[in-house]
Amino acid sequence: MSDIQPISSVRPRLLVSVRGPDEALTALRAGADLIDAKDPERGALGALPAETVRAVAAGIGRRAVTSAVAGDGTGTEIAAAIAEMAATGVDFIKIAVGTADDDALAEAAARAPGRVIGVLFAEDGLAGDALPARLAAAGFVGAMIDTRGKTGTALPTLMSAPQLAAFVAGCRAHGLMSGLAGSLGLADIPALARLNPDYLGFRGGLCRDGDRRQALDGARVARAVTAMRDSPRADAA
């Protein structure tokens, strides 16, 4: 598996969602740190066919960290989807947490030990570190906040900086990687990077015309990489 450095030693890294091996190479060549395979036509957690994800993982090799969305199903459906995506060779698998109970979370994590990341939606509201604690106890390796609706309303509009900072801190306290995503643009990077998540996730903001259904734009990815590197950490302020 890829070596994920502790958050205290590095700046936040760039996660770029791609819909196939060609976009994956575009993201890689522009400097993306994590290549995330998902279907932008199917919402926040639309899964790609396993054979497409396998091609993404094979094309990237060990040159970047990889992840794939397993969908937003429940019960035995999501457990089977996790196992299928785990077999493609990606480093991490992302699933929606939703209202799953502790037993369901543990079953999901057990399908790919040390590789499952729980996705929470900003629209559902988050309180304290209860969810990071539950995910860590269930065996998840990370947690990410995203936006369910992909209408252009960015994450910072739905959640305040103190709320997002509390989520990141909760993840850190429980040994989880943390990620922030949801209709983000280049202008969102400085403020969010100061919260010190492990990853900031992008799709639409790095596509042609800012449309997540359009092709990934390598030049925009490169600008995001530069912006991430130029953004100071909170502890450096």
- Catalytic residues, by residue number, are 38, 94
Residue type (1 letter), 122: A
Domains in the chain, number: 1
Please indicate, yes or no, if residue 5 is contained in any of the structural domains. Answer: no
Is it the case that residue 236 has pLDDT exceeding 60? no
Provide the residue range defining the domain that includes 23.
Answer: 11-236
Please indicate, yes or no, if residue 6 is contained in any of the structural domains. Answer: no
pLDDT digits (tens, 9 = 90+) for 28-45: 999 999 999 999 988 888
Q: What is the mean predicted confidence (pLDDT) over 180-193?
A: 96
Q: What is the DSSP letter of 175?
A: T
In this structure, of 4-18, 48-62, 116-130, 156-170, the range with the lowest mean pLDDT score is: 4-18
pLDDT value at position 172? 95
Provide the pLDDT confidence category of residue 237 given band limits of 50, 70 and 90: very low
Residues 6+ positions from 230 with CB-CB distance below 8 Å: none
Confirm if 128 and 164 have CB atoms less than 8 A apart. Answer: no
Cα distance between residue 88 and residue 113, in whole Å: 15
Cα distance between residue 216 and residue 205, in whole Å: 9
Cα distance between residue 169 and residue 128, in whole Å: 10
Please indicate, yes or no, if residue 189 is contained in any of the structural domains. Answer: yes
pLDDT value at position 2? 43
Provide the pLDDT confidence category of residue 205 given band limits of 50, 70 and 90: very high
Closest CA to 144 of 116, 106, 111: 116
CATH of the domain at 102: 3.20.20.70
Cα distance between residue 44 and residue 47, in whole Å: 9
- Reported pTM: 0.92
Provide the pLDDT confidence category of residue 74 given band limits of 50, 70 and 90: low
pLDDT digits (tens, 9 = 90+) for 78-128: 889 999 999 999 999 999 988 889 999 999 999 999 999 999 999 987 756
Cα distance between residue 58 and residue 37, in whole Å: 12
Q: Which residue has the higher pLDDT, 23 or 153?
A: 23
